[in-house]
Amino acid sequence: MPPDCLRIRTPWVGFHVLKDADGLYLLDGGFIGGVGRLKATLARQHWQNERIRGIILTHGHLDHILNVAAIARETGAWIAAPRQDAAHYAGRAEYRGWSRVAGLLEGVGKPLLGFEPFTPDRWIGDGDRLDLWKGLRAVHLPGHTDGHTGYLCEDLGLLFCGDLFASYRRFSHAPPGILNSSPELMRLSMIRAQSLDLNGVLPNHGDEASPAEHLGRLRNLSH
Ligand SMILES: [Zn+2]
């Protein structure tokens, strides 16, 4: 794990914090308990006085965006997010096929958990570059959602791969069918991710393994 990258862990999903000279950048915003865990982890790292400058999203599922509006309001951070998931941020996503089950779950969860819709300040498309940290390039990896996007640090060969797969030792798996908007694209996105020049990947759903171990599991999964 690079020293200027932190993983914020909650039981269901994790997200990442990048430290740059001018402050912090979040990759996704976590789910229930995410804000408390973020503050505790930043304090432990002595990063609590660093300003959060931006929040960059991999996709529009509730377990990645629940806290985004609140964090942005509290910190003044900008939000950058894949354009094709716009309806998710607005709280109006439509789900097709089996993923309608996910839509039903989110329909119950959003009011229960106090989801606040938001409008990103910057739309992300494939190949866009984010001039922060060591530089990130957006890599569109659709299937899980239409907009689902990974962020590649070319310097490190490190891909923040969102929900491309879930990485738990022997229980690594592709996201369940009910959660995928376009399951037919998932496999292509897995192949595309592995065609990049990578030393490691960091998924949001995963254990404490190193980026290289996560990458090994992704490769096994695709065989
Ligand atoms: Zn997801």
Taking the centre of ligand 1 as the mean of its atom positions, its distance from the CA of residue 52, in whole angstroms, is 23
Taking the centre of ligand 1 as the mean of its atom positions, its distance from the CA of residue 108, in whole angstroms, is 16
Q: Where exactly are the structural domains of the chain?
A: 5-222
Q: Is the pLDDT of residue 182 over 90?
A: no
Q: Is the pLDDT of residue 172 over 90?
A: no
CATH topology of domain 5-222: Metallo-beta-lactamase; Chain A (3.60.15)
For residue 194 the two structure tokens come to 């592995």
**Arithmetic mean of pLDDT over the chain:** 93
CB neighbour burial string for 62-96, b if at least 16 within 10 angstroms, e if fewer: bbbbbbbbbbbeebebebbbbebbbebbebebebe
For the stretch 52-99, pLDDT in tens is 999 999 999 999 999 999 999 999 999 999 999 999 999 988 777 777
More confident residue, 53 or 222: 53
Residue 175's pLDDT is 81
Taking the centre of ligand 1 as the mean of its atom positions, its distance from the CA of residue 194, in whole angstroms, is 19
Taking the centre of ligand 1 as the mean of its atom positions, its distance from the CA of residue 179, in whole angstroms, is 7
- Strands 78-82 and 52-56, by their bridges, are parallel
Taking the centre of ligand 1 as the mean of its atom positions, its distance from the CA of residue 46, in whole angstroms, is 30
Residue 120's pLDDT is 98
For the stretch 132-171, pLDDT in tens is 999 999 999 999 999 999 999 999 999 999 999 999 887 7
Taking the centre of ligand 1 as the mean of its atom positions, its distance from the CA of residue 21, in whole angstroms, is 30
Residue 68's pLDDT is 98
Q: Is the pLDDT of residue 104 over 80?
A: no
Taking the centre of ligand 1 as the mean of its atom positions, its distance from the CA of residue 63, in whole angstroms, is 7
At 158, is the secondary structure helix, strand, or coil?
Answer: strand
Residue 96's pLDDT is 75
| Maximum CA extent, the chain | 46
Taking the centre of ligand 1 as the mean of its atom positions, its distance from the CA of residue 175, in whole angstroms, is 8
What distance in Å separates the CA atoms of residue 105 and residue 86, rounded to the nearest whole number? 19
